[in-house]
Each structure stands twice: as structure tokens, then as C-alpha cells.
Amino acid sequence: MAASRMVAHPPPNLHRQSPPSGALTLRPKRYRNLGIRSCLRGHEEKKSDLAAKPHSVELRTSPDDVVSRDPLVLPRPLTSTQLSASVSDGSRLRVAYQGVRGAYSESAAQKAYPNCEAVPCEQFDTAFEAVERWLVDRAVLPIENSLGGSIHRNYDLLLRHSLHIVGEVKYAVRHCLMANHGVKLEGLKRVLSHPQALAQCENTLTKFGLVREAVDDTAGAAKHVAFHKLQDAGAVASSAAAKIYGLNILAEDIQDDSDNITRFLMLAREPIIPGTDRPFKTSIVFSLEEGPGILFKALAVFALRQINLTKIESRPLRNQPLRASDDSNNSKYFDYLFYVDFEASMADQSAQNALRHLKEFATFLRVLGSYPVDTST
């Protein structure tokens, strides 16, 4: 039996229930912040071994066809409080994404898992938890964009949760400026969108002289503009969102560079078996002792073995952000976690040797996943 077609059954105490339908009422208050609402749980920063034993399980679950035809009453995103609700037993893969229908993340989920049932979630944390609690089979979440840079929140959540990266998908993001029918560009004062989308359209929005307002996702912005019939505000979102929410496109391709690619991670409860039959990438996170040249030494474990690095990101060690120095001045250093992607499979001897070497002086090391490179763009 192909490992990728095994059927996994959810724990018996969880029962399937559809995400509730109904209009999403977006509170204006949320439009003044970046929309991260859930409480953070503490880090589990302990020195750990390398990744769990790899084995592949592809969950196959049932469809949940409760999609209404009215775009303003589409299924509501799962919230953190609804996470105890459901698990499935049918045949379609359920894939969580952050946002509402028409978000780029939904398109990325469809690209990653064609014919899947894409399940909207209110926050990134909700999507992580939905997988962990067997409400869905996978999550597809943005991690970096070629213009806007890293999505730091998801780096932090990768560590806080125990999901595995099982793939990546690159999606070409093409933004449109949209408004209600009859509203002209000259009549717009404000523009609503996800902060990443606003950042990716910085030059155009400045040229148009629009005040930016950050919301949870691009399609949510379009939905809000449509639902409240706003006359002074537009949204930056996909052409799909304009169609779903009945908005008029005022300008197309407004991103600052035509090559605007967002890289999404595919996350699952179980890792996949790393292969060597095609290009693989491995993502790790580690922390180091303080000292001169220690990061140089850490990165040298890859350079020594001709392993190419494709990404490095540092994030504060949030449960212990400051470290006392050994000097007499009582000064303190900031403490960091380093996220590194490298071009090798965990099935490669050289990658195993590199990580064994890194473990000799890393204070913490975790393999987040070893997965096929998306070469599609």
C-alpha cells in the first residue's frame, strides 16, 4: 500500500461538525491592529533530539459541502474556541488556511492540494490547532514573500506547535485595488488589506495617496468593504475576491514588482519520508551559546559539506529574551533562535552529518521538516 494513501482515523473522542455558516461581522476595532488575537502559549525550549522518526500518513476525510451561494454568508472561519468541534471520515482532504474565501492562502491551498476542501480559519494559530486536533488534515500557511519578507508570526508558531513541514508551494500574488460599484479612484480615502499586501503595494498606494488600514487578510478586507457598502474605502485583494464579494476592480497588478511570489508551507501531524529521487529541502531551528564566531561556526557545518542555504531567519527567544554576559559590566545580550532552510534531504548522509556536527554545540535543535522543493515558479 502506498504510504501516501493510508487512511488515518481520528481519536474517538472527537466528532465531526461543520464549520458554522453565516455572515462574518468584522469588528472595526480589529482593523486598527494586525489582527493577532489568540493568547500565546509558552515556549517549550528544551534541548531535543532531531526530528521524530519519519513515516508518511495521508489522511483522507469527508467533504463538508455547506458552502452557501451568497458570498456574504459563506462558512465562517474557525475560531480558537471552536476547535473542539469536528473531525471527518470521508474522502476529501481538508486543508486549513488563514483568511476567508478569496484569500491568496485559499488559492495556495488549492495549488498544494488540488481538489481539497479548503477550510477558512480566523487566525494562523487556529489553522495550526485545527490540524493538531484532527479537525482538518493539513494547513497551508504563508512563510515569506519576495517583496514583503518573512511572516514572522508563522516562524514563531512553527516552534510553538508540533506540526511537520511536508511541502512548500510558491504562489504568484497579483493584487488588485477594488471598491464598490460606482466608487471612483478619486473618491477613495482609505484602503484596507493584509499588512503584507499593503507592503507589497507600497509605491502604488503612496502614488494614489491612500491611507492604509491593516486587517487580517486581503479577502476579509474586500468582504468588509462590500458588506458595509463603504464609499470612501477600497481593498487590496485578489481578482477572485472581487468576484466573490461583487466589487469593481479599479486597478490591476498594483504590486511594486511583477515578480511577487509568496512561499507557503504545507503542514501535517506526521512528517513525510524524505527522499533523494528529487530536490529536497530541510528546515531546522536552533539556538546557540553566546560567543565570538559561534554563528559562523554553526553555518560552517553546511558550507563544509557543500550544502547550500536558501533562507536564514533569526527570532527572539521569547520565553528568555535576554542573556547575562560574562563581563563585569552586567550587560545583557538578546537571545535568538535561528531558522535555516538548506538544500538537502534528511535522507542524505551529508545532511545527517551536518546536523550531528551542529548538535555538538547547539543548545537546542529541531528539524521542522524535510520536503520536496517547489520548482513550479
Ligand X SMILES: O=C(O)C(=O)C[C@]1(C(=O)O)C=C[C@@H](O)C=C1
Please give the biggest Cα pair distance in the chain.
68
Site for ligand X in 121-160 (CB under 6 A): 142, 145, 151
- Tell me the window of 109-117, 155-163, 193-201, 250-258 that interacts with ligand X (CB under 6 A): 193-201
Q: Does 242 bind ligand X (CB under 6 A)?
A: no
Site for ligand X in 318-377 (CB under 6 A): none
Residue with Cβ nearer ligand X (236 or 285) = 236
Residue with Cβ nearer ligand X (218 or 345) = 218
Residue with Cβ nearer ligand X (121 or 197) = 197
Residue 143: closest CA among 206, 98, 176: 98
Residue with Cβ nearer ligand X (264 or 286) = 264
Place of cell 492562502: 105
Residue 90 C-alpha cell reads as 470521508
CB of 55 to ligand X, least distance (A): 31
Residue with Cβ nearer ligand X (157 or 317) = 157
Cα dihedral: 82, 87, 88, 93 (round 10) = 80
In the annotation, is 262 catalytic?
A: yes
Q: Does 197 bind ligand X (CB under 6 A)?
A: yes
Radius of gyration of the chain (CA): 22
Active-site choice (128, 264, 342, 364):
264
Site for ligand X in 36-65 (CB under 6 A): none
> Is beta strand 233-237 parallel, antiparallel or unpaired with respect to 190-193?
parallel
Question: Of residues 82, 88, 204, 218, which one binds ligand X by CB under 6 A?
Answer: 218
Question: Of residues 58, 137, 217, 335, which one binds ligand X by CB under 6 A?
Answer: 217
Residue 121 C-alpha cell reads as 480559519
d(CA 105, CA 171): 9
CB of 303 to ligand X, least distance (A): 31
Instruction: Give φ, ψ of 336 to 5 degrees.
Output: -130, 155
Residue with Cβ nearer ligand X (93 or 143) = 143
Residue pair 337/298 in contact (Cβ under 8 Å)? The answer is no
Active-site choice (204, 262, 286, 364):
262
Site for ligand X in 248-267 (CB under 6 A): 262
Residue pair 250/136 in contact (Cβ under 8 Å)? The answer is no
d(CA 275, CA 113): 20
Residue with Cβ nearer ligand X (88 or 255) = 255
Site for ligand X in 84-123 (CB under 6 A): 99, 103-105
Question: Of residues 96, 116, 127, 173, which one binds ligand X by CB under 6 A?
Answer: 173
CB of 120 to ligand X, least distance (A): 10
Question: Of residues 214, 219, 268, 301, which one binds ligand X by CB under 6 A?
Answer: 219
CB of 184 to ligand X, least distance (A): 25
Q: Per DSSP, which regions of the chain are E strands?
A: 94-98, 117-121, 138-145, 149-150, 164-172, 176-179, 190-193, 211-214, 233-237, 248-251, 261-268, 280-288, 309-316, 322-324, 332-334, 336-342, 362-372
Number of residues assigned to the chain: 377
Residue pair 89/156 in contact (Cβ under 8 Å)? The answer is no
Residue 227 C-alpha cell reads as 458588506
Q: Angle between the 152-160 and 124-132 helix axes, to the nearest 10 degrees?
A: 30
- Tell me the window of 54-62, 78-86, 189-197, 206-214 that interacts with ligand X (CB under 6 A): 189-197
CB of 216 to ligand X, least distance (A): 7
CB of 277 to ligand X, least distance (A): 30
How many chain residues bind ligand X (CB under 6 A)? 15
- HEC string of 284-318? EEEEECCCCCHHHHHHHHHHCCCCCEEEEEEEECC
Residue with Cβ nearer ligand X (87 or 173) = 173
In the annotation, is 264 catalytic?
A: yes
- Tell me the window of 17-25, 110-118, 216-224, 301-309 that interacts with ligand X (CB under 6 A): 216-224
> What is the set of active-site residues?
262, 264
Q: Which residues bind ligand X (CB under 6 A)?
A: 99, 103-105, 142, 145, 151, 173, 194, 196-197, 217-219, 262
